[in-house]
Amino acid sequence: MTKQKITHVTKKLIALPMVLFTVGIYAQNQTKTLDSLFTTLHNQKKFNGNVLVADKGQPIFEKSYGLADEKTGRKLDVKSTFELASVSKQFTAAGIVLLQKAGKLNYDDKISKYIPELSFYDKITVRNLLNHTSGLPDYMELLEKNWDKTQFATNDDIIREFAKYKPTLEFEPNQQFEYSNTGYALLASIIERVSKKNFGEFLSQNIFKPLGMDHTLIYRSRYQPMTIANYALGYEADQSGDKFLPDSKGKEYYSYYLDGIVGDGMVNSTLEDLLKWDRALYTDKLVNENDKKLIFNGITTANGKETNYGFGWLIKDKTPYGKIVNHSGGWAGYSTFIERHIDNDKTFIILQNNMTPFTKIPIESVRKILYNEKLATENLKTVQLTADQLQKYAGTYSSIDFPMKLKIFVKEGALYGQALAEGQNAFPMVAYENHVFIFDNADIRMAFDPNKHTMDFKQGGASNYLFSKEE
């Protein structure tokens, strides 16, 4: 866009302060509304964590809510360190990109070149691991069945277990998209074997230190304990809301014996470090524009569907807010989220050290506040349905955009939902008009279309995900 010549200097002098004043009012309103939103959620026991919202790299809101340690009463502050869970995947992907740029590997190399133990998976490439099109089954399910849970599992153990049991692929590589923690654990192993450095050391030397992310590291609290100042302990909760540390469940609890595994998780960081990461992605300091075309764009698989997943980021191209890239994470007491509005340079980062049936990440509400939109409300009437009427909604549902399948079933005269993944409990839902079912404790909303055999899923203000019932 070219600049028009300003012929009336007096208009320029008058207009500028008015624009600045208006921007200031908007920023004040946004800050108040954001604080009101998160304060309300915290008071409802739906939010415990840190929030940072930035516009063009400048924080317009940054605040902590709740405790870092329930036992001692130590409070969170904006510099507290959190486990990022699957938000870690963008750093694993970036590590692979850096190795490709250095000529140490190619995206279309077969993984057997670096992991010969898995040579029987002769069609899987590094690129398949990056964009979740490998077809590899879930390592957590394999270890749940076969692993000695008195021992820590590591990435090398995943490779050994896959080499031993040779589990069948879910589908041929590049045929479709299915979110895979296995793929990102193997990417971490490739990084280690190619770089001859451990995963944490490589990321630190090549990403964290160059960007001044001084409080970001790979941290496995059970496998390699260390003291980290101002650390946010992660809490889960039962259905009654009583919080507990996952380690209280013993060594056979998933978060304990899987603590040696990196790549799909285990990056720990702070709000301010993640904002540094966000800012670097607008520059060529680590990756250039050609790299970003791969990182921030999905692909079309052989089944003709768009994946909406790049290298470690979910992609939303056509939104009212322009292009959005984001990623969520959930693991052993942590619920995390980062979102970047690339076209408008807006960012928000949400780090929680509670992952309970009540935890909420108000993604859609934050978006609306950022763009000075009114927050929407919904008023629906409850309905009473018989078990036979509920049965038409039952089945297994999947979405190309969502990492887990959902099982919907009828139990004791109510409709229940359950994510088909390790550690996910079933939850009862209240029936509303228009085929809507809600589990209010976790802010889950499902709107079914029985004729099309689909279901629109939404949780915690996040974007809607369209699920289809499997045959």
Cα(211)–Cα(288) distance, integer angstroms: 15
DSSP secondary structure of 334-353: EEEEEEEETTTTEEEEEEES
In the structure encoding, which two tokens stand for residue 172, read together? 């041929």
In the structure encoding, which two tokens stand for residue 96, read together? 């692979």
Strand 414-419 and strand 406-411: the pairing is: antiparallel
Give the list of residues 6+ apart from residue 361 with CB closer than 8 angstroms, or none.
328, 335, 337, 350, 352, 460, 461, 462
Examine the residue annotation and report whether 269 is marked as an active-site residue of this protein: no
Q: List Cα–Cα distances, 72 to 68, 109, 126, 398, in angstroms.
A: 9, 51, 45, 42
Q: Residue 427: which of 447, 448, 406 has the closest Cα?
A: 406
Cα(456)–Cα(217) distance, integer angstroms: 37
- Per-residue buried b or exposed e for 92-118, using 16+ beta carbons within 10 Å of the residue's own CB: bbbbbbbbbeeeebebeebbbebbeeb
Cα(219)–Cα(232) distance, integer angstroms: 12
Choose, from 86, 195, 328, 335, the residue flagged as catalytic.
Answer: 86
Sheet of 334-341: strands edge to edge? 58-65, 49-55, 346-352, 334-341, 324-331, 314-316
DSSP secondary structure of 28-57: HHHHHHHHHHHHHHHHTTS--EEEEEEETT
- Coil, strand or helix at 111: helix
Longest dimension (CA), the chain: 79
In the structure encoding, which two tokens stand for residue 413, read together? 């005269």
Point out the residues that are catalytic.
Answer: 86
